[in-house]
Copies of this chain bind each other. A is one copy, B any other.
Amino acid sequence: MDQKKLEALRKKYKDQDYHEVDDPEFQKAMLDASDMLSGIATLLDAPYRDDLEGLDIALIGVPFDSGVVHRTGARFRPRAIRDISMAVGPFNHQTRINPDSLCAIADIGDVPLHGFSLEEGIQTIEEYFHKVIDAGVIPISAGGDHSVTYPIMKAVGRDKPVGMVHIDAHCDTMGAFEDHKFHHGGPFRHAVLDGVLDPERCVQIGIRGAAEVFWEFSHESGMTVIPVQDFHNMGVDAVISKTREVIGDGPTYITFDVDGLDPVYAPGTGTPEIGGLSTADAIQLLRGLRGLNFVGGDLVEVAPAYDATINTAQVGKQMMFEILCLVAESRARR
């Protein structure tokens, strides 16, 4: 480069400290980020609060895995997501969303649960989320197994059935299993039958899992199912278009089961299925959904005991941040 330009650069940047960057939002974000390594650990490094007063969005842990048939451990997930110290956010470099500048956000702790009864747990969760909705606050949760989404939807969709963007390896619309309705393979069947989820505004993405017979309710009720091989064949852009078309502009819930990703990206989960989405796929998908009307979301099925490299928790944190960006924009638009 020519010497003059170099001199200009030197003049401007030599010994510039990050404190001198002329951007107040950046300064605030850096200040927050400087606490990243130290102090108590919270969901998405948000401030910790024990009430809902004045919040737009509450980040909530749901430490529950009584709905699991196989590898348990998702009950430790909220803690695992809190513990990840890797930097995620505070900006979204591609969409340039900075959620903290759009909404008042806090980690309000966990739903108080103990583990013995599936049915009692489901009820406790539902009651907790009704209070969040009562306060006019949008919940974004860190599960827990996927059974937690049903009682959350009971609250979120209580006034009007919601649509759903659903990333998962499984449709999760099975019936009862040995007389237990509320296991993690069936929340969306019950949400539809209870009138809180509108199946015609549902898109299920990344589905593979064992047998199409399990997908019957999804098809019968009018959900749009995009199996993983179709996802790979269509490409992310076509999946985004299809999703936007099905969802429309009604109130919409977004639920991300980490087993929708391939197990190499998210080994720490209860029922991994090979051949799933990459994280790059998933990020592009989520970023393509800006402008939809999101009224809640969750990230479920992280099981730390199977997460030797902690990649799963980091992936979970990033996906939860992407969901936060989407929800914060929706909320700010209201």
Binding site for B on A (CB under 8 A): 1, 5-6, 9-10, 12-18, 20-21, 23, 26, 29, 33-42, 48, 61, 63, 65-73, 75-76, 78-79, 82-83, 85-87, 89-91, 93-94, 96, 107, 109-118, 161, 174-181, 183, 189, 192-193, 195, 198-200, 208-213, 216-217, 220-222, 227-229, 232, 262-265, 267, 271-272, 274-276, 278-280, 283-284, 305-306, 308-309, 311, 314-315, 318
Contact = CB atoms under 8 A, between A and B. Distances in A.
Contact of A38 (B78, B284, B306, B318): B78
B91 A213 contact: yes
Q: Which of A65, A116, A212 has the most CB of B within 10 A?
A: A116
Nearest to A1: B200
Given A180-B116, A272-B314, A283-B274, A213 B26 contact: yes
Given A69-B115, A227-B94, A274-B315, A213 B308 contact: no
Q: Report the copy number of this chain in the oligomer.
A: 6
Contact of A72 (B39, B67, B72, B177): B72
Contacts of A23: 213
Nearest to A17: B176
Given A72-B72, A86-B271, 18 more contacts: A1-B198, A13-B189, A17-B175, A18-B174, A18-B175, A38-B61, A38-B109, A39-B110, A41-B41, A71-B305, A79-B83, A93-B227, A228-B280, A264-B264, A274-B280, A276-B280, A305-B305, A308-B308
Contacts of A228: 280
Contacts of A42: 40
Nearest to A83: B83
A183 B229 CA distance: 38
Contact of A217 (B13, B38, B175, B271): B13
B318 A9 contact: no
B177 A114 contact: yes
Q: Top 9 closest A-B pairs, CB basis?
A: A38-B110, A91-B211, A305-B305, A16-B175, A116-B180, A72-B72, A274-B279, A17-B176, A39-B109
Nearest to A197: B1
Contacts of A41: 40-41, 79, 82-83
Contacts of A72: 65, 72-73, 75, 115
A74 to B, nearest CB: 10
6 contacts: A1-B199, A69-B115, A87-B210, A117-B117, A274-B280, A275-B283
A212 B96 contact: yes
A70 B87 contact: yes
A212 B93 contact: yes
A192 B94 contact: no
